Structure 1
Amino acid sequence: MKPWIQLSSADLAAQLPAGEDQEVHFPEALVETVLADYTTPGQTVLDPFAGFGTTLVTAQRMGRRAIGVELLPDRVALIRHRLSGHDDVEVINGDARKLSTLVHGPVDLCLTSPPYMDAVDHPENPLNAYETLDGDYATYLDELGAVFEQVAQLLRPGGHAVVNVANMRVDDRVTTLAWDVGRVVSAHLVLRQESFLCWDRQPEWLTGDYCLVFQRDAADTCG
């Protein structure tokens, strides 16, 4: 993948389903680039944090099989509506922290953007869809690491995981979320590359947007 990718905020806005949070910054153009670089038609793509289904919809359009896990039932319904009539995409209502009980591998690529958390006074728990007040940054990172441990087991040897994650500013303090997520995922997969996402209009709260590219060792046949 290129060391930088140019993205358009206008293109993203045009793709947002009605009522979607404008802070979402995971456009189809990014998914297209990643899928073209790391998969071929017919291969299987996994998104354990499916959200509004951007990965799944784009994968289907590009001739890939896709599996998505999403915690919120209303978003599952939205994704299924967007994919109506396509039986090469599986959408599962479930908790990514239980990924290995929900999805059977192997998959060729995991492409996702996990729910974000800053390290500054953030009581809402991202992994509970921000609906509970038991958020703790260290616990959040540990649980994300456990999700990607399961991703590593589901990937075929040599398969890739690409994670879109950003560093962000809250109250004049920067949370280095990209670096922290990179650290916990690197405990289970090999970090191969980082690619900087260049927005024409970058949100003020975002200090740096990245795709981190990981790989399961081709010689690793365990899991």
Structure 2
Amino acid sequence: MTSLSAPFFNGFALSAALIMAIGAQNLFVLRQGLRREHVGAIVLFCGCADALLITAGVSGVGAFLSAIPQLKLLLALGGAAFLGWYGIKAFQRSASPAAMTMDEGMAIPLGRAISTTAAFTFLNPHVYLDTVLLMGAAGAAQPAALRPIFVTGAASASIIWFTALGYGARALRPVFAQARAWRVLDAIVGATMVSLAASLLMGALSGRA
């Protein structure tokens, strides 16, 4: 029992430590949780995506991807463009005198919610660094028979985190009953997205120098 619990909790702890940092994906899940829009589908997508990426890393895909710098550059440029666009939209919402309150504003369709979640997930090179490379290296260091246990622990941490973030956001609904709170949140989202976009762009350009 102890031999099985150790790789599980190793994967769980490492995944939890990496995933709890405030980033683009987490902020989007939080925002959708506050709006109560497609929370279950978004949480399920994020958890499954992390499980897939971690499994790929443990299986050796991370070592393969690290040998293709062109792919990393394309991901960085694409991610920077998407994050910059989303950040500007958030700033526009924040500056609008008609900023929405909790029950205002048009709900986005499920397809758009999932596609946006997918963009935040797969267009961010840091996601690959955390899941495919770092988690993959840690998982690959486990004995072959214990690697599925490590992946299960890591995926469990991801699912628990996104579930808590998406559904736990409802506890903040009284705070976001006012338009001013949404303006502040969108300003934070905008600043985070633009900063991440600039970081990705500078990293891509410095890598080509």
User: TM (normalized to structure 1)?
Assistant: 0.21
User: TM (normalized to structure 2)?
Assistant: 0.22
Larger strand share, 1 or 2? 1
Structure ranking higher on relative contact order (CA contacts 8 Å, 6+ apart): 2
Larger helix share, 1 or 2? 2
Q: Is the radius of gyration larger for structure 1 or structure 2?
A: 2
